[in-house]
Amino acid sequence: MKNTIKVERAKKDITQEKLAELAEVSRQTINSIEKNRYVPSTVLALRLSRIFGVTVNELFMLEDDD
Amino acid sequence: MKTNHDTYKLRGFLPNYFKRIGLALAIISVLGFIGGMIFEQAITIDKEAIATITLDGVILGLLIISLSKTRIEDEMIMHLRLNAFAKAFIFGTAYLFSVSLMSLIMHNDVPITPHSLIIVELIMFICFFEISLSKLSKQ
């Protein structure tokens, strides 16, 4: 699964630290999600989509091998 | 909907400072065991009772460490914790098999007590979890 968190972050000009604060998780969790090392729960995915004002489908996309 | 913070606050884990309490309890128990061995003749209490009490102290200490929260608790930390639990359980099972197999091959009766198995599993859990956390903090 890939995601556009880094792109959305750049658009909104917010750091991983700030996003972590808004999503109530650690910066390392945001970093791991961005690097596809960790797949977030539905609650966290929804929260991130709400922060960026996009749908979950726009933020997270399935890849061919998923 | 509950916040992430609320979700992980309700898990029933102990505050972070309990890690130090658990460590102190485990160290005191180990020192008590060593002291019991050194001053064996001077102590009138049953040797087996000392061993049981100190091993229980070590287990309790390790359990307190295992159940203590990290500074920041979130869903990924919980994920790492569950992974560490699974690895520690597999390690404990492998330890049980290997010790009993060695005992059979070498015709040497090495007793596996529930205490030793639990201690191995708890130590391995703490190690796996701390390694995961240190890898995470390097990111």
Task: Return the HEC string of chain A.
Answer: CEECHHHHHHHHCCCHHHHHHHHCCCHHHHHHHHCCCCCCCHHHHHHHHHHHCCCHHHHEECCCCC
DSSP category for residue B13? P
Q: Yes or no: say if B58 and B34 are a contact pair by the CB < 8 Å rule.
A: no
Query: Whole-angstrom Cα distance, residue A11 to residue A23?
Result: 17
Q: Do A26 and B76 touch (CB under 8 A)?
A: yes
pLDDT at B2: 54
Ranking A47-56, B13-22, B31-40, B52-61 by mean pLDDT, the lowest is B31-40
Q: Yes or no: say if A29 and B75 are a contact pair by the CB < 8 Å rule.
A: yes
pLDDT value at A10 more than 80: yes
pTM: 0.83
Q: Would you place residue A15 in the very low, low, confident or very high pLDDT band (cuts 50, 70, 90)?
A: very high
pLDDT value at B9 more than 70: no
pLDDT value at B3 more than 70: no
- CB-CB neighbors (< 8 A) of B76 in chain A: 25-26, 28-29, 32, 38
Q: Do B74 and A24 touch (CB under 8 A)?
A: yes
Q: Would you place residue B7 in the very low, low, confident or very high pLDDT band (cuts 50, 70, 90)?
A: low
Task: Tell me which residue in A24, A28, A32 faces B3 most closely, judged by beta carbons.
Answer: A24
Q: Give the distance from residue B76's alpha carbon to the nearest chain A alpha carbon, in angstroms.
A: 6
B3 touches chain A (CB under 8 A): yes
- CB-CB neighbors (< 8 A) of B139 in chain A: 28, 31-32
pLDDT value at B132 more than 80: yes
Task: Tell me which residue in A24, A31, A38 faces B4 most closely, judged by beta carbons.
Answer: A24
Q: Would you place residue B136 in the very low, low, confident or very high pLDDT band (cuts 50, 70, 90)?
A: confident
Tokens representing A56 are 């979950």
C-alpha angle with apex B55: B86 to B91, nearest 5 degrees? 20
- CB-CB neighbors (< 8 A) of B7 in chain A: 43
pLDDT value at A6 more than 90: yes
Ranking A32-41, A43-52, B30-39, B92-101 by mean pLDDT, the lowest is B30-39
Nearest C-alpha in B relative to A20: B74
